[in-house]
Amino acid sequence: MKPLIRLKQRAPVFVVTFLLACFGILDGAQAVITDPEDYFPGGNTAAGQGALLNLREGAYNTAIGLFSLYNLLDGSYNTGLGAGALLFNTADRNTATGAAVLLSNTTGEDNTANGYSALGGNTEGNWNTAVGSQALLSNTGDDNTATGFRALSNNIAGNRNTAVGSQALLFNTVDDNTATGFQALMNNTEGNGNTANGTAALFTNSTGVDNTATGFQALSGNTIGDSNVANGFQALMNNTEGRNNAANGAFALLSNTTGVENTANGSQALFNNTTGIDNTATGFQALVNNTTGSANTANGVEALVNNTIGAGNTAIGINALLFNTTGGDNTADGLV
């Protein structure tokens, strides 16, 4: 079963429409003058179409309006509310809520954003938090936290990110990420040290190393990854070349055919592992149908059942080493 992939239209169409509308009325934009003599001295509040437009030397500002905090210069600790909240703002530690929140903020740090395209267009920012359906869209920076439908969507170079959402870390290909959601870490193909929780956790991660996944099809589609730990119904399903894996679940290490030094726990643990070496399995049919493996340890009712040519195996269970016909140096405890 392959997870359903439901991708919606991404932000740039909305962004382009919004920017065209912005520049179409830009000539008539006026900053709301709450204090015409002193030009919004520190600790300012503004509301209107071009609120705090081109504010200089400002700090601790709150702006509400279409162009709220538009082209704010030198400002810090700002809060913006509106369709263009913090538009083109590059400063640090801003909070924005609106449809295009923190749009085109490219170098900002420690920002918090809420909205449809939260942190949309932020490409280099570090330590940002974004909540929205397109949260952290096209953000490539480090140590970000995103919650939303496409949380960390198209983050392709970011390290050590945390994302929660149905498409969490979608198309993220790099290191040390944590994702929770329906298709957590979906299409992460080369990542190292990732942790994913969800129905299709680490779905189609094919070359990853040192991953931990929990979910229905945890590590499903991971084919050559090393040192993975998976928990779930079909944990490590279709991992065919992996080494040093540990899996827990009903079909743990299902269809792992060439894996070495794996540990699996579950009712069908190491089910259909045919060429593995130095495996340990615990479960109802531990190492069932392993035919050429050697130096395996299995515990379960059908431990090492139908292993025919394996050598140096240890099996404990009611039918331990049942129908092993040509193996040598085996130790078995059980009914047969």
Look at residue 27 in the predicted model and tell me its pLDDT: 47
Look at residue 12 in the predicted model and tell me its pLDDT: 53
- 265 neighbors 281 (Cβ within 8 angstroms): yes
Give the closest residue to 211 by CA, choosing from 150, 148, 250, 169. 169
Task: Give the C-alpha distances (Å, rounded to integers) separating 308 from 96, 98, 195, 288, 326.
Answer: 66, 66, 38, 11, 6
pLDDT digits (tens, 9 = 90+) for 17-40: 455 445 444 444 444 444 444 456
CA end-to-end span of the chain: 37
Look at residue 207 in the predicted model and tell me its pLDDT: 85
Helix (H) or strand (E) holding 19: helix 12-24
Look at residue 114 in the predicted model and tell me its pLDDT: 87
HEC string of 267-319? CCCCCCCCCCECCEEECCCCCCCCCCCECCEEECCCCCCCCCCCCCCEEECCC
Handedness of CA 155, 158, 159, 160 (dihedral sign): negative
pLDDT digits (tens, 9 = 90+) for 94-122: 888 877 888 788 778 888 988 888 887 88
Low-confidence residues of the chain, pLDDT below 70? 1-40, 335-336
C-alpha angle 244-247-250 in degrees, rounded to nearest 5: 150
Q: What phi and psi, each to the nearest 5 degrees, are found at residue 16?
A: -60, -45
- 310 neighbors 292 (Cβ within 8 angstroms): yes
pTM, two decimal places: 0.81
- Look up residue 178 and give its two tokens: 């944590």
Q: What phi and psi, each to the nearest 5 degrees, are found at residue 22?
A: -60, -50
C-alpha angle 51-30-82 in degrees, rounded to nearest 5: 30
Look at residue 178 in the predicted model and tell me its pLDDT: 93
Give the closest residue to 291 by CA, choosing from 279, 268, 270, 275. 275
